[in-house]
Amino acid sequence: MRVRGFTLIELAVAVAILAIGSVAAYRSLDQAQRGVGGQVDRALAAEVALNRAAELRLGGMQAGRRLPDRVTQGPVDWRVTVEEAATASGMIEATILVSAPGRPGARFVTIVPRERR
């Protein structure tokens, strides 16, 4: 009885096909990580902006002016600036800008009620 197995050529072809498939999978994974990498910074910046908007709505603009202009979120120190503009209805439109050197930032606009006197 004769036992047949793989020949050396068949084995070499199978290894070559697996190597090509592995390289292709690695390249697509690397490309996906690069695409997602920028989104993490955008998400962190947006979270900082949303947090500041909540602080302004809860504490009012007067208290918001005393909040720090630097916030650490994740591994990044974000710079937060708030631009104020009065609206026709007597409210305050607060434009929150979040930035960090070399990273994408965020911009968020919220309406804050005027302080009661």
On whether the CB atoms of residues 84 and 94 are closer than 8 A, the answer is yes
Is residue 1, in this structure, part of any structural domain at all? no
- Reading across the β-sheet that carries 76-86, which strands appear in turn? 70-73, 76-86, 92-100, 103-112
Is residue 2, in this structure, part of any structural domain at all? no
Strands (E), 18-88: 70-73, 76-86
The conformation of residue 72, written as its DSSP 8-state character, comes to E
Can you give the pLDDT at residue 94?
95
Q: Give the tens place of pLDDT for each residue, 4-39.
A: 777 888 889 999 999 999 999 988 888 877 766 668
On whether the CB atoms of residues 93 and 115 are closer than 8 A, the answer is no
Q: Is the pLDDT of residue 46 over 80?
A: yes
Give the chain's domain count. Answer: 1
pTM of the model: 0.67
Q: Structural domain of residue 80, as residue ranges?
A: 8-112
